Amino acid sequence: MEYNGSAIVAMAGENCVGIAADTRFGVRQLQTMGCQRQKLFQMTNQTFVGLAGLGTDVQTMSQLLDFRMKLYELREERSMQPQVIGNVISSMLYEKRFGPYFTEPVVAGLDKNQKPFLCAFDFIGAMSKNEEFVVSGTSSEQLYGVCESFWRPKMNKDELFETLAQCLLSAVDRDCLAGWGGVVHIITPEEIITKRLKGRMD
């Protein structure tokens, strides 16, 4: 998990949910190749998946998920709910448990009742749900600390963005494998707001 570092955090607000990730692409702490790495993937109009871990497995998982989701939409004639996406990810990871994908996904979205849904997984597919926030990646210990301090219930979309951005930037400053900027997506029933963050590049 430490070969390509990452930091992903998802957080619930009042009728909105946010997910944020760093953008560094590097090999351990030795080399940084770029700062535009995509770690968050839009699955539906109201669901994002964040993939932390080995860069090649992140790409493989995102393409497989996209394939499974399109098949589901063709067969069912409706888009996947975030809970369904969580179950699909869990089964995909568990079926490869003897040679696992080195990735720890996070799902964040709004369900059909516009209630936030958050869950995270380990790399063999064990789902962990939370109603406040979930974290993943090499910065997860640092993220837990700042999120427990900053998260509060019933945040609106602007407060949620500010909290997510500060939590991400504070955590990656203490992890040499992640950082170099970030991206935050805020999902509301009406829109998806995307903002990019500037971070330290040292």
- pLDDT tens digit at each of 202 positions of the chain: 778 888 999 999 999 999 999 998 888 877 787 778 889 999 999 999 999 989 899 999 999 999 999 999 999 999 999 999 999 999 999 999 999 999 999 999 999 999 999 999 998 989 999 999 999 989 888 889 899 899 898 899 999 999 999 999 998 888 778 878 899 999 999 999 999 988 787 7
Say what the pLDDT of residue 91 is: 94
Q: pTM above 0.75?
A: yes
What pLDDT does residue 133 have?
A: 94
* Residues whose CB falls within 8 Å of the CB of residue 104, separated by 6 or more in sequence, listed in order: 1, 51, 52, 53, 120, 121, 122, 123, 136, 137
Burial of 148 (0-12, 13-18, 19+ CB in 10 A): exposed
User: What's the pLDDT at 177?
Assistant: 81
Residue 86 is inside which H or E element, if any? helix 82-95
Token digits of residue 1: 């998990």
Q: Which helix (H) or strand (E) holds 143?
A: helix 140-150
